[in-house]
Amino acid sequence: MKHFLDVSDYSPAEIQDILDLAIRLKQEYFAGGNKPLFKGKVLALIFQKPSLRTRVSFDMAMRHMGGDALYLSPNEIGLGKREAIADISRVLSGYVQAIMARVFEHQHVVELAKWSSIPVINGLSDYSHPCQAMADAQTIIEKFGAMKGLNVTYVGDGNNVAVSLMHIVTMLGGNFTIANPEGYGMPQAAQAIGAKLAQASGAKISYLSDPHQAVKNAHVIYTDTWTSMGQEEETAKREVVFPPYQVNAKLVSEADKDVIVMHCLPAHRNHELTDEVADGPHSAIFPQAHNRLHAQKAILARLFEVA
């Protein structure tokens, strides 16, 4: 591994290896702390979008493993505006040991990686959110033991989170269903990759419009905000279209009795997800958020080749 831009860039064995390492590093941390395998290493954190989980989890992942992180705000860099991406990438390659970038346009993180001589991690782009998917898969595996044969249902907008979730679930042999309003599906390119991954693993992908049909026999129900960052001008329109896709107690009751409910956060409570569900017995949203820390330790460890 040189970079971590999309889960679909890697084989199922490579992704499973990182997930196994994430679980081991989590156990190690709670058994007394992680070994300082990142000593002498600094991760540059480039942000075009605001963040709670991505910023804090990457920062703390480096600290737990003996390294350090350097936060770079949008105004400090002006990625692709104040300075060319190729120049930023090559400059940082001489200062730090890895770069994490949370960007609007996926092409920006691709270009960072193209010109970088150090590992680049996609911390979120308009196309995908691979680090979130790794934490999601870790959470599901910790609950059910493995991904293979599980039914994972995503309810809502076919956004970057849905793309990465579909890819990692099908790659590991889980069945993936998405229910979304017409016109809010996933990009065709992402669907094509999903189809190849599903064919290789024997998984099934279903594209539906009815959320109630979609959650039948679901072991996991996943949702996200109806309006992602950068889509604010569509908020009013989406507030009319998406209410039938709310994950509430009734919808959860129609899934498997042991279903877990997931959300990448931040949540707009009582919009896409009700308080009753978010704080209820089926909710896994906070263990899921905490697993960002450990999944990212494992990604970094493989990129640094230290574990």
CA dist 106 and 108 (Å) reads: 5
Mean pLDDT of the 163-173 span: 98
Mean pLDDT of the 7-30 span: 98
pLDDT at 36: 98
Contact (Cβ atoms closer than 8 angstroms) between residue 102 and residue 124: yes
- Is residue 280 pLDDT above 90, yes or no? yes
- Is residue 24 pLDDT above 90, yes or no? yes
**Residue 78 pLDDT class (50, 70, 90 cuts):** confident
pLDDT at 235: 86
CATH 3.40.50.1370 in the chain: give the residue spans: 7-129+292-304, 130-288
Q: What is the CATH number of domain 7-129+292-304?
A: 3.40.50.1370
CA 268 remoteness from chain centre: 18
The single residue listed with the structure tokens 């990142």 is 38
pLDDT over 70 for what percent of the chain? 99
Q: What is the pLDDT of residues 186-233, one digit of tens each?
A: 999 999 999 999 999 999 999 999 999 999 999 999 999 998 766 778
- Is residue 287 pLDDT above 90, yes or no? yes
The residues annotated as belonging to the active site are 102, 129, 132, 224, 264, 292
CA dist 129 and 260 (Å) reads: 20
CA dist 143 and 155 (Å) reads: 20
pLDDT at 1: 79
* Fold category of 130-288 in CATH: Rossmann fold (3.40.50)
The tokens describing 204, both together, are 């099934």
Angle between the N-to-C axes of helices 130-144 and 160-171, in degrees from 0 to 180, rounded to the nearest 10: 50
CA angle 106, 99, 295 (to 5 degrees): 85
- Is residue 77 pLDDT above 90, yes or no? no
- Is residue 61 pLDDT above 90, yes or no? yes
Q: How many residues does the chain have?
A: 307
- Is residue 72 pLDDT above 80, yes or no? yes
**Residue 151 pLDDT class (50, 70, 90 cuts):** very high
pLDDT at 267: 96
The single residue listed with the structure tokens 């009582």 is 270
pLDDT at 82: 82
> Which residues, in sequence order, are CB contacts of 189 under 8 Å at separation 6+?
none
Torsion sign (Cα): 87, 89, 94, 100: positive
**Mean pLDDT taken over the chain:** 96
pLDDT at 227: 85
* Weakest-pLDDT range from 73-77, 131-135, 212-216: 73-77
Torsion sign (Cα): 161, 162, 166, 167: negative
pLDDT over 90 for what percent of the chain? 92
- If we measure between CA atoms, which residue out of 62, 81, 80 comes closest to residue 71? 62
Q: What is the pTM of this model?
A: 0.96
